[in-house]
Amino acid sequence: MSGVRGVLARRSLEEVQSIVEKALRDYVEERSEDPAMKYARDILLAGGKRFRPVLGCLAYEAAGAKLDDKMLRSALAAEIIHTATLVHDDIYDQAKLRRGRPTLHSQHGLAHGIIAGDYLFTLGYWLGSEQGPEVIRALADSCIAMANGELLQFDHIGNLGTTPEDYYRIIDGKTAGPIACGCKVAAMVAEADPEIIDAMDNFGWEVGRAFQMVDDLLDLTGNPRMGKPRGTDIYEGKMTLPIIHALTSLHGNDRKNLADVLMDFNDDRWDELIALLDTAGSIDYVRSLIDSHVQRAIEALEPLPNSNQLQLMAKFARKSALRTL
Amino acid sequence: MSGVRGVLARRSLEEVQSIVEKALRDYVEERSEDPAMKYARDILLAGGKRFRPVLGCLAYEAAGAKLDDKMLRSALAAEIIHTATLVHDDIYDQAKLRRGRPTLHSQHGLAHGIIAGDYLFTLGYWLGSEQGPEVIRALADSCIAMANGELLQFDHIGNLGTTPEDYYRIIDGKTAGPIACGCKVAAMVAEADPEIIDAMDNFGWEVGRAFQMVDDLLDLTGNPRMGKPRGTDIYEGKMTLPIIHALTSLHGNDRKNLADVLMDFNDDRWDELIALLDTAGSIDYVRSLIDSHVQRAIEALEPLPNSNQLQLMAKFARKSALRTL
């Protein structure tokens, strides 16, 4: 672990990313004797925007503390638990690629994928333990909600009656909750006032919801950077927000056609699908919801004193929702 | 959670088991709103001897504290994390049955098995957080060692050159360590002196080693109670202690025949295998090692004042090693 000290003021997002990246590399080195790390290191160090830990570091300073090893260890906990879920998700999603590289289980086998994921969860809790029981509990609560959200999502696969309320329950568990947890924990580690901790928590929920909705839109366009072809969710029968909106808005033949397209989807039916989403105005609807969640995220920060870090958080919210960070 | 209070003195092992069982049922009820619990409850409540939490409760009282909710919650953490590993093991071992019931993934699918296992790990850490950071760290350390032990075991599948040292590294990680952790944590929660905590830790290591070696022997005879047919380890190429001993002790044709039997095993070759193990004296060797680990477990308890609970722990060690508890 490097001895990063001092104020983050006037650093760019890229600089924070590189501090996080360095801390992560040091930590992987620190645990390099673990046989499990031999398998886990590739995915840990495969890059990515380090969305969660960067946000944690910004929240920590915006809450009035100076970025230090203590916070970096917490930030790593968030990133490592996130990676654990990616390793396990890739197994049951039968994903072959993650960030352009072979997924852990496709390279090393099912057992190694499951065990390496378990190991990563545990490293996250180990690091969390350095911050005390409240932080562990916050991490554990968010992981419980994540498991619940994932299972709810499975229960709704192919369910054309999925409601927007179901959708929010699912994404709050699997996406928004963990991001909120990272922001809240940062403020807790900074020993901020309860009002500030709540503000960070709220910010995280709103950013996380926007983040998931952007993901839903990207499924309709494809996201080559993530190595994810378009339509993955559609083929899996996942009820994304544009789909739920269109199913709710359309009537008569349009609704019937949409149901037919979804239940029997193939690449020749893209034009049909997009035309139906256009008729329903679903893409515009999701875009306006994303804007509204980003706006609420930024408003959530109001209790905080202005600072460069606060501006970076707001910028982060806007950019990450556009996924152009 | 029931309000169990008071001294355990003069209770039988069965009574401790039933207190643990009741606490576990109450906890499952407490979390019954979690969608993930819908899938996890069957395996949690499928019975079993509750080896780890019972030992924890005995260790707690032998260390001078009175069994209470605090300890029961810790005991549940150990049992729930153990269950998490069973759920995940069953996936990559492709096990169809666990305690005579369909395994979670075979009943509900791969995704549900992985997610329910992750959920159970997290519940364990949540409960551990109630005891403070040292307990979390002890749990996490033992889970890290468990992952490492499992992976080492995979690395040695079918490796006829596996040494007894390799064997101890594997079983210390995957079996003895978690049992030692449970005993140690009990003494920590009891706020016992470091000498007592160490004694409990040592006891757990020795009992755990004996326990694994009994498992190795049971693989040669079958264990209908566990729903495990004989030869599972042999078919999987796992290097159990009787096999490692025979491979090390036999020479010439016997060694060659043994290698051949192991590399090309089928149910028609049981007599051949058992005859070779007899020639090598491997079963007697493992039995004598089990006795020696049980003896060391009992000796490890010497720093503790005599008590009914201490006697129960010794009885427990002797009986569990014979697997007739």
Q: Are A314 and A58 a contacting pair, CB within 8 Å?
A: no
Q: What share of chain B is helix, strand, coil (3-state, %, to 5)?
A: 75, 0, 25
Reply yes or no on whether the pLDDT at A31 is more than 90.
yes
Q: Taking residues A200-224, what's their average pLDDT? A: 91
Give this prediction's pTM. Answer: 0.92
CATH number of domain containing A79: 1.10.600.10
H-assigned helices in A109-265: 110-129, 133-155, 164-171, 177-189, 194-221, 232-236, 241-249, 252-263
Q: Which residues of B touch A73 (CB under 8 A)?
A: none
A5: confidence class by pLDDT, cuts 50, 70, 90: very low
Cβ-Cβ contacts under 8 Å for A25 (sequence gap 6 or more): A45
Local confidence band at A12 (pLDDT 50, 70, 90 cut-offs): confident
Give residue A70's identity as a one-letter amino acid code: K
For residue B149, give Cα distances in angstroms to B137, B182, B289: 18, 17, 20
How many other C-beta atoms can be found within 10 angstroms of the C-beta atom of residue A79? Answer: 27
Q: In the predicted model, is pLDDT for residue A1 greater than 50? A: no
Position A169 scores a pLDDT of 96
pLDDT for B322: 75
User: How would you class A190 by CB atoms within 10 Å of its CB: exposed for 0-12, middle for 13-18, buried for 19 or more?
Assistant: buried
Which comes out higher in pLDDT, residue B109 or B2? B109
All residues at 6 or more sequence positions from B176 whose CB lies less than 8 Å from its CB, including other chains: B204, B205, B206, B207, B208, B209, B211, B212
Closest Cβ–Cβ partner in B88, B114, B123 for A92:
B114
Model confidence over B272-286: pLDDT tens digits? 999 999 999 999 999
B interface test, pick of A27, A73, A92 with most B CB neighbours within 10 Å: A92
Query: Which of B88, B129, B152 is facing A133, going by the closest CB pair?
Result: B129
The pLDDT tens digits of the residues spanning B300-322 come to 999 999 999 999 999 989 987 77
First to last CA, chain B: 26
Q: Which residue in the set B36, B92, B155 is minimally distant from A147, CB to CB?
A: B36
Distance of alpha carbon A190 from alpha carbon B81, whole angstroms = 31
* Average pLDDT value over all residues in chain B: 91
CA distance B77 to B139: 9
Residue A215 pLDDT > 50: yes
Helices B69-92, B133-155: inter-axial angle, 10-degree rounding? 20
Tokens of A316: 């982060």
Classify residue B303: in a domain, yes or no.
Answer: yes
Output the pLDDT for position A3.
36
Is residue B97 classed as helix, strand or coil in its secondary structure? Answer: strand
Residue the block writes with tokens 């996380």: A208
Element (H, E) at B41: helix B35-44
- Inside any domain, residue B6: no
In a domain, A1, yes or no: no
Does residue B223 lie within any of the structural domains? yes
* Any domain includes B1: no
Per-residue model confidence (pLDDT) at position B2: 37
Q: Band of the pLDDT at B6, cuts 50, 70, 90?
A: very low
Q: Is the pLDDT of residue A55 over 90?
A: yes
Candidates A36, A150, A154; nearest CB to B147: A36
Q: Can you read off the two tokens belonging to residue A183? A: 């922001």
Residue among A130, A22, A31 nearest A71 (CA): A130
pLDDT > 50? residue B3? no
Widest pairwise Cα distance in chain B: 64
Residue B227: its pLDDT value, please?
A: 59
* Residue A252: other Cβ atoms inside 10 A: 7
Nearest to A140 by CA among A212, A202, A78, A218: A78
Mean pLDDT across B86-95: 94
Inspect the interface and report whether the beta carbons of B154 and A111 lie closer than 8 Å: yes
Which pLDDT belongs to residue A224? 62
- The pLDDT score that the predictor gives to residue A148 is 95
Answer whether residue B8 is part of any domain: no
Q: How far is A6 from chain B (nearest CA, A)?
A: 27
- Alpha carbon distance A122, B139 (integer Å): 9
| Binding-site residues on chain A for chain B (CB distance < 8 A) | 34-36, 38-39, 84-85, 88, 91-92, 109-112, 114-119, 121-123, 125-126, 128-130, 132-133, 136-137, 139-141, 143-144, 147-148, 150-152, 154-155
A–B interface: beta-carbon pairs under 8 A: 138
Average the pLDDT over B213-236 and give the result: 82
SS3 B101: strand
pLDDT-based confidence at residue A53 (cuts at 50, 70, 90) = very high
Q: Domain total for chain A?
A: 1
Suggest the residue from A90, A126, A134 to mutate for an interface test with chain B (most B CBs closer than 10 A). Answer: A126
Mean pLDDT to the nearest integer, B29-51: 93
Compute the mean pLDDT over every residue in chain A, rounded to the nearest whole number.
Answer: 91
Q: Which 3-state string (H, E, C) describes A26-59?
A: HHHHHCCCCHHHHHHHHHHCCCCCCHHHHHHHHH
Is residue B174 predicted with pLDDT exceeding 50?
Answer: yes
Which residue is closest to B113 within chain A, CA to CA? A92
Residue A2: predicted pLDDT: 37
Range of the domain at A299: 13-322
**Site of tokens 């590289």:** A101
**Within-domain flag for A6:** no
Confidence at B9, pLDDT banded by 50, 70, 90 = low
Q: How confident is the model at residue A208 (pLDDT cuts 50, 70, 90)?
A: very high
Instruction: Please write the tens of the pLDDT for every residue from A291-307.
Output: 999 999 999 999 999 99
What is residue B107's three-state secondary structure? helix
- Two structure tokens written together for A262: 């979804």
Quick one: how far is CA B3 from the chain centroid? 28
Question: Helices then strands (H, E): number in chain A?
Answer: 16, 2
Above 80 in pLDDT, residue B97?
yes
Beta partners for B223? B228
Which residues in chain A are contacts of B121 at CB distance < 8 A? 118, 121-122
pLDDT band at A4 (very low <50, low <70, confident <90, very high): very low
Q: Please write the tens of the pLDDT for every residue from A156-165.
A: 999 999 999 9
Q: Does residue B262 register a pLDDT over 70?
A: yes
Q: Predicted confidence band at A98 (pLDDT cuts at 50, 70, 90)?
A: confident
Q: What is the mean pLDDT of residues B23-41?
A: 96
β-sheet bridge partners, residue A98? A101
